[in-house]
Chains A and B, each alone.
Chain A
Amino acid sequence: GAVVSQHPSRVICKSGTSVKIECRSLDFQATTMFWYRQFPKQSLMLMATSNEGSKATYEQGVEKDKFLINHASLTLSTLTVTSAHPEDSSFYICSARDFAGGQGARGYTFGSGTRLTVV
């Protein structure tokens, strides 16, 4: 089935540094990638939607300059947390919508998530 590889799974960084999270669709073309943020015991909050070759669309309240999203190809999307601070510590997870948009998980495949800790 469709697989999205997300790396790293865990990262600890110092306050003020930047962290890049990658999501790769391994066996399908991801026309659209969704990036979510999740705090412990809470729901997934959509941060932004990216389409290959175009600028990401950010949800209200999400700082686009802080959370840089690049969807350079149909198989790779990246989220960069710039100048990270402790309040950015969270679980980040991507979800790809495959080109055909159907079958199995009805077109959505999630990465395994990245647990970011900013110290």
Chain B
Amino acid sequence: AQKITQTQPGMFVQEKEAVTLDCTYDTSDPSYGLFWYKQPSSGEMIFLIYQGSYDQQNATEGRYSLNFQKARKSANLVISASQLGDSAMYFCAMRPSNDYKLSFGAGTTVTVRA
């Protein structure tokens, strides 16, 4: 079974600064996919970024980048130039190669201060 760990329940960040959200995972599967989602207070799940376990380069999507360290089994999300609208809960998730189920971490609440 896969386990996703997000150790930061809440974080505060100043507007325009960068913030790193930690995510570690545990799997014996050699092939897997890693996801980050944003969930604002409205509840919708917004896909941010994806990293495949065999991808050679770290994924980037606009202000979002994923710091993928396979040997350490970590997939930290970096949000650059934080905006007030980035205040939300962020979830790390993983999908193994042999299943379509996503396993989610506990989430990190980010609050951006003006």
Q: Which residues on the A side are within 8 Å of B47 (C-beta)?
A: 104-106, 108, 110
B54 on the A face (CB < 8 A):
no
> What separation, in Å, do the CA atoms of A106 and B47 have in the docked complex?
9
Interface of A is mostly: strand
Q: Which residues of A contact B104 (CB under 8 A)?
A: 43-44
**CB of B25 within 8 A of chain A?**
no
Interface size on A (CB < 8 Å)?
Answer: 22
Among candidates B37, B43, B89, B101, residue contacting A113 with C-beta atoms closer than 8 Å: B43
B78 → chain A closest CB, angstroms: 19
Which of A95, A106, A107, A112 lies at the interface centre, i.e. has the most chain B CB atoms within 10 A of its CB? A106
CB contact under 8 A between A91 and B43, given known A42-B107, A44-B91, A106-B50: yes
A78 to chain B, nearest CB (A): 19
Q: Interface extent on B, as a size class?
A: 10 to 19
Known: A43-B91, A95-B45, A115-B43. A108 touches B102 (CB 8 A): yes
Instruction: Provide the residues of chain A in CB contact with B100, threshold 8 Å.
Output: 32, 34, 49, 97, 101, 107
Residues of B within 8 A of A13 (CB): none
Contact indicator per residue, chain B 59-99, by CB within 8 Å of chain A (1) or not (0)? 00000000000000000000000000000010100000000
Q: A41-B109, A49-B101, A104-B47 are in contact. List 12 more A-B contacts (CB 8 A).
A: A34-B101, A43-B91, A46-B102, A93-B43, A93-B45, A106-B35, A110-B37, A110-B44, A110-B45, A112-B42, A113-B44, A113-B45
Question: What are some 11 contacts across the A-B interface (CB < 8 A)?
Answer: A43-B105, A44-B45, A49-B100, A49-B101, A101-B100, A106-B35, A106-B47, A106-B50, A108-B47, A110-B37, A110-B45
Interface on A for B, CB 8 Å cutoff?
32, 34, 41-44, 46, 49, 91, 93, 95, 97, 101, 104-108, 110, 112-113, 115
Contacts from B to A (Cβ < 8 Å): 33, 35, 37, 42-45, 47, 50, 89, 91, 100-102, 104-107, 109
